[in-house]
Amino acid sequence: MTITNFSDETVAEITREIWSAIIDDSGSLVPRGAVSDYGDLTGSVDINGSWNGTFYLSFSSTAARQAASKMFDADAASLSEDDVRDAVGELINIIGGNLKSLLPPPALLSLPKVETGLPKPTHLDEAELVSELRFDWIEEPIIIAVWREPEAQ
């Protein structure tokens, strides 16, 4: 399947598949209502090529640490901040790569970035918010967002 843009359904399906495979296969990533703000820790990857934009995955501190504990198979309290940031970056890298695979070539995936305390992205003034979804996991918010940059003139 090749697509030219992302729907909420596609973003949700890929996110839940990856969450289930890596973090929690109990189906506990529950869709919730509107996004009011991003979490404490936000990972992002850029896509450049036939489609240009950025994928964001944002966590509360608690959710990020618990997700990292699943990936490291270690007690959450034993993990360093770098461990938690690494896990957030790897998750958005995998989600971004799988979403990117739906686009026609060429489509290049950047290395992940992880930022602390990012509010809703403000550097994408010209960008279009394609999809923004909130899930709850262990009663903590998980936000996935897709921003598309305008076509070059």
Binding of another protein at residue 98 (CB under 8 A)?
Answer: yes
Query: 31: Cβ–Cβ under 8 A, 6 or more apart, which residues?
Result: 12, 133, 134, 135
Q: Which stretch binds another protein (CB under 8 A): 27-35, 87-95, 131-139, 143-151?
A: 87-95
Distance CA 32, CA 43 (A): 20
Distance CA 38, CA 49 (A): 27
Distance CA 42, CA 60 (A): 9
Binding of another protein at residue 22 (CB under 8 A)?
Answer: yes
Q: Which of 3, 9, 13, 21 binds another protein (CB under 8 A)?
A: 21
Binding of another protein at residue 49 (CB under 8 A)?
Answer: no
Chain residues in the site for another protein (CB under 8 A):
17-18, 21-22, 68, 71-74, 82-83, 86-87, 89-90, 93-94, 96-98, 100-101, 105, 107, 109, 111
